[in-house]
């Protein structure tokens, strides 16, 4: 049977699972984190919770996380996942974040993912709040209008890159290899070396061709004589 590339998880996480996934990617919302959750999945589901369900606390910490870690986000994966979302508010949010990070040209396609009128973050009272406090500078000139006092920015709410690399194996390999599918595949094989190329591709949302190459390279690396595996910081 031909390999069919996975684009998104089969189902949305429960509220508790999403919280654990956010903790797992270094967003300090309380509780125990899940082990090595997919970064882009967690980000998009958090944006749904914030934009469609009004959870501004989650949205605030997500925004802070993106400000710190956007350079280690797989932009291709994030763009594909956001494009699948029916919610115009979610697409507008990510378009705005891409424009905020416009210096990183990897997010150019993401920035073009929403076409429509400007969206207010708050369901009511935006005009009053903007008149009183001004707009959040991170969203000035974007498709999302956010009052300056709506989304707090607290760097202490997220782990630093060094801290996250020590607790999230794929993130650690993204620091080494880059924010690409290959990094996540290498991390997955380090955790479960028996994965076949097709299973590896499905687990990381990558292509079969990339998974096959990574599997080949991983086996060559693992079997080289008189050597020890060089590992990213373990997630414990």
Q: What pLDDT was estimated at residue 94?
A: 98
Q: What pLDDT was estimated at residue 6?
A: 84
Q: What pLDDT was estimated at residue 5?
A: 85
Q: Which are the contacts of 87, defined by CB distance < 8 A and separation ≥ 6?
A: 48, 51, 52
Instruction: Point out the residues of the chain with pLDDT beneath 70.
Output: 1-3, 226-236
Q: What is the DSSP letter of 119?
A: E
User: Domain map of the chain by residue range?
Assistant: 15-157, 161-223
Q: How many CB atoms lie within 10 A of CB 26?
A: 24
Global pTM?
Answer: 0.92
Q: CA-CA distance, 106 to 73, in Å (whole number)?
A: 10
Residue with tokens 């919610």: 87
- 138-194, pLDDT tens digit by residue? 999 999 999 999 999 999 999 999 999 999 999 999 999 999 999 999 999 999 999
Beta bridge partners of 120: 145
Q: What pLDDT was estimated at residue 124?
A: 93
Q: CA-CA distance, 79 to 57, in Å (whole number)?
A: 24
Q: What pLDDT was estimated at residue 3?
A: 64
Q: Which are the contacts of 226, defined by CB distance < 8 A and separation ≥ 6?
A: none
Q: What pLDDT was estimated at residue 55?
A: 96
Q: Would you call 171 helix, strand, or coil by DSSP?
A: helix
Exposed e or buried b per residue across 116-136, where buried means at least 16 C-beta atoms within 10 angstroms of its C-beta: eeebbbbeeebeebbeeeebb
Phi, psi values for residue 30, rounded to 5°: 95, 150
Q: CA-CA distance, 21 to 2, in Å (whole number)?
A: 31
Tell me how far the alpha carbon of residue 219 is from its chain's centroid. 28
Q: Would you call 45 helix, strand, or coil by DSSP?
A: helix
Residue with tokens 């094989």: 189
């Amino acid at each position: 049977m031909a390999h069919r590339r996975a684009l998104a998880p089969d189902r949305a996480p429960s509220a508790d699972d999403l919280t654990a996934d956010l903790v797992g990617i270094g967003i300090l919302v309380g509780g125990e984190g899940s082990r090595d959750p997919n970064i882009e999945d967690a980000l998009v589901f958090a944006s749904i919770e914030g934009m469609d369900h009004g959870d501004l606390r989650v949205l605030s910490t997500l925004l802070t996380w993106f400000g710190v870690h956007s350079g280690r986000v797989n932009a291709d994966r994030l763009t594909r996942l956001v494009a699948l979302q029916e919610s115009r508010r979610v697409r507008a949010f990510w378009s705005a974040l891409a424009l905020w990070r416009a210096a990183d040209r990897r997010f150019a396609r993401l920035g073009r993912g929403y076409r429509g009128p400007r969206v207010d973050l708050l369901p009511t009272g935006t005009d009053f709040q903007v008149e009183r406090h001004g707009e959040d500078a991170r969203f000035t000139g974007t498709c999302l209008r956010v009052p300056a006092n709506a989304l707090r920015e607290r760097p202490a709410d997220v782990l630093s890159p060094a801290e996250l690399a020590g607790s999230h194996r794929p993130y650690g390999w993204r620091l080494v290899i880059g924010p690409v599918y290959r990094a996540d595949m290498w991390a997955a094989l380090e955790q479960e070396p028996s994965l076949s190329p097709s299973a590896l591709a499905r687990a990381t949302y990558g292509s079969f061709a990339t998974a096959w190459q990574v599997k080949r390279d991983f086996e060559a690396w693992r079997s080289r004589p008189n050597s020890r595996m060089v590992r990213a910081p373990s997630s414990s």
